[in-house]
Structure 1
Amino acid sequence: MVSKEDVIKALRKVQDPHMGISIVDMGLVRDIEIDDNGNVKFIITPTNPACMSVLGMAMQAKKVVEELEGVKKVDVKVEGHFMEKEINEMLNEP
């Protein structure tokens, strides 16, 4: 089974394109949850509510976690962005 540490390690590969620092080290990722079936959920909060890079960072974050062994599904939610509803719809399309 995938662990929270595995998820954090994978998410450290995702960098804010403007700062060159991982989204984990910047404190943008929170509320990581993993259930017994390998479903992972977490929230990304951009530093700026108009951040133009948040969709790309969230998509990359979803991809690196999906690649972990034992992960069945990844649900990423963006909070604190003025377009969060539209971004979340794009991120989690079936």
Structure 2
Amino acid sequence: MKKSKFTDQQIAFALQQAEAGMPVEEVYRKMGISQATYFRWKKFNGGLMPSEVQKPRHLVEENTRLIVPMIERFMATDRGFAKARRTRLVAPHE
């Protein structure tokens, strides 16, 4: 996925301006983005403040870092694999 040229704080600031009453057309014209990009940002970031935007991304990275080794250990045992199939963590090979 292509990296955005705007930081999370810039995106949150643009969304806050629109919420504060600035016309949406003016916000995306000043930012130099398309209307579709603005509404995609709005859908993804919702009403988050600039400081709150970093938290979900940080939590996703931390969860991935913690969960992946646990799943690898769990799947390393035959019993763990059988249990995973019963709980539908792993799709059966048909």
TM score, norm. by length of structure 2: 0.26
Structure whose alpha-carbon radius of gyration is higher: 2
Please identify which structure carries the higher helix content. Answer: 2
TM-score, normalised to structure 1's length?
0.26
